[in-house]
Amino acid sequence: MMAYFKYIERVDIPANRFLNFLRDEIEALDEYPYDETHDEEPIKCAWSVHSEITEGDKVKELILKREIPEGEVAKEFYFKLTNQAVTNPTSGYATLILQILDGYDEATEDFKFKGPEVRFQFADESIPNTERTAEHSIHVFMNIDNDRIVGVLQADPVVNFDDYRPSPFYIGKIEPFEFNQDDISGNVLLTAGAVDKEPAMSELMSKNQYFGMYTSPGNNTFQMLATKSGVKFQKHYPAFITPAPKPGDAYVHPVLGDTGLELERQGFQASRHTDKYHLSPIYVVHPYEGYRGQLKDCIAVIKHNILHYDKLIVDVDKCKYPEKPWKQEVYRYFDINIEQNFFNMSPNRGTAIAILSEIRY
């Protein structure tokens, strides 16, 4: 079995040097870490730095390229990241702008398709007298593999207890099902959390980033490169196994009333029947084309009797996953509280994400 990912935790990266940090990580990641004692073999990293623009010694724009991994039938894709902590440090010290790029033309050195820019924030920059600046550190939690980069960023809580926001992002391929392994050309997803409201369709039109009435701004929905029918940058939605949301967030039936479920304050998790937390994959759904796949190595967790940064240990089912020689997978839980995030348009807004951080033999 080949080791296939790198998990990163850092709490000391200045906001205005985040893209320097990401560039250095990608350039240094020739092979993913592997454990020879368990017969793991190295696998080459398919990510590279396509280009960068600096301002002084700080990277303000970075374009990452996901090349085609050796032996795979796959697609090249690109992401642009712009750090407003460099370009607009006074009011954008906790903001990145993310964008899918597709169809690179070597002759013009430009891209045929550019998706709607997605605002990615990890602090509330509108809070007065915060004293937070672009020089302050952010906390970085990130899993990189050859299909996608997923993680959570948050501003350092030490500076201000009220303005920091754990905020998720996902850039790259989703994991298709057994029966749609040919989902290649449009299988690129972008989503990120933000404090500010998503741009309206009129704003996307004014920026020439409008791709029809279901264009995804990328915060409260998943932005996919293309649907099966080829329409670019459309809204996709999360789905997962969950009890009903709490009263006030659930459907109000004309006869039954509020159908929400109130969880007992000290109960529900872990289950008294199994002594386990019951988790779910995060599926990606289109309202016409249906279920498409799932976020890779990410799980949905009810935000109840669980703490930010908790670890969830999942026993690997050898019958279901014979290709996995390890016994356990460790996921790190993040109590997402950013105002705009994809759980807002999910079956239960009282849910957050856990990301694969470790495998154990």
Place of tokens 């004692």: 37
Mean pLDDT of the residues in the chain:
95
Higher model confidence: residue 345 or residue 323?
A: 345
Confidence of residue 355 (pLDDT cuts 50, 70, 90): very high
The answer to whether residue 178 scores a pLDDT higher than 60 is: yes
Residue 70's DSSP bridge partners are none
d(CA 35, CA 32): 10
d(CA 154, CA 167): 6
Predicted local distance difference test score (pLDDT) of residue 45: 96
d(CA 202, CA 206): 6
Backbone conformation region of residue 287, classed left if phi is above 0, alpha if psi is from -120 to 50, else beta: alpha
Residue 326 in tokens = 């390890």
Place of tokens 């994991």: 175
Q: Please state, as a whole number, how many other Cβ atoms lie within 10 Å of the Cβ of residue 119.
A: 22
Confidence of residue 2 (pLDDT cuts 50, 70, 90): low
* For the chain, percent of residues with pLDDT exceeding 70: 99
The answer to whether residue 3 scores a pLDDT higher than 80 is: no
For residues 2 and 41, the answer to whether their CB atoms sit within 8 Å is: yes
Predicted local distance difference test score (pLDDT) of residue 141: 98
Long-range contacts of residues 182-185, Cβ cutoff 8 Å, at least 24 apart: 183/228, 183/292, 183/293, 184/73, 184/74, 184/75, 185/75, 185/225, 185/226
DSSP for 217-244, written as a single string: -SSSSEEEEE-TT--EEEEEEEE---PP
N-term to C-term CA, the chain: 12
The answer to whether residue 95 scores a pLDDT higher than 90 is: yes
Helix or strand run (H / E) with residue 189:
strand 189-192
Using alpha carbons, select from 36, 95, 35, 44 the residue that is nearest to residue 66: 44
Least confident of 52-56, 118-122, 151-155, 177-181: 177-181
The pLDDT tens digits for 330-343 are 999 999 999 999 99
Helix or strand run (H / E) with residue 25:
helix 18-28
Q: Output the CA angle 149-164-116, nearest 5 degrees.
A: 45
The answer to whether residue 1 scores a pLDDT higher than 80 is: no
Confidence of residue 18 (pLDDT cuts 50, 70, 90): very high
| pLDDT, average across residues 24-38 | 95
Query: What residues contact 348, with CB distance under 8 A and at least 6 apart?
Result: 240, 242, 243, 244, 245, 249, 302
Place of tokens 């050195």: 109
Predicted local distance difference test score (pLDDT) of residue 73: 87
Predicted local distance difference test score (pLDDT) of residue 184: 94
For residues 212 and 223, the answer to whether their CB atoms sit within 8 Å is: no
For residues 133 and 94, the answer to whether their CB atoms sit within 8 Å is: no
The pLDDT tens digits for 241-254 are 999 999 999 999 99
Q: What are phi and psi of 268, to 5 degrees?
A: 75, -55
Strands 167-172 and 175-176: unpaired
| pLDDT, average across residues 77-92 | 97
d(CA 198, CA 200): 6
d(CA 134, CA 42): 37
Q: What are phi and psi of 87, to 5 degrees?
A: -80, -25
d(CA 319, CA 304): 30
| pLDDT, average across residues 74-98 | 96
Using alpha carbons, select from 59, 279, 303, 66 the residue that is nearest to residue 188: 66
Query: What residues contact 274, with CB distance under 8 A and at least 6 apart?
Result: none
Domain locations along the chain? 5-240+287-296
The pLDDT tens digits for 265-317 are 888 988 889 989 999 999 999 999 999 999 999 999 999 999 999 999 999 99
| pLDDT, average across residues 62-91 | 95
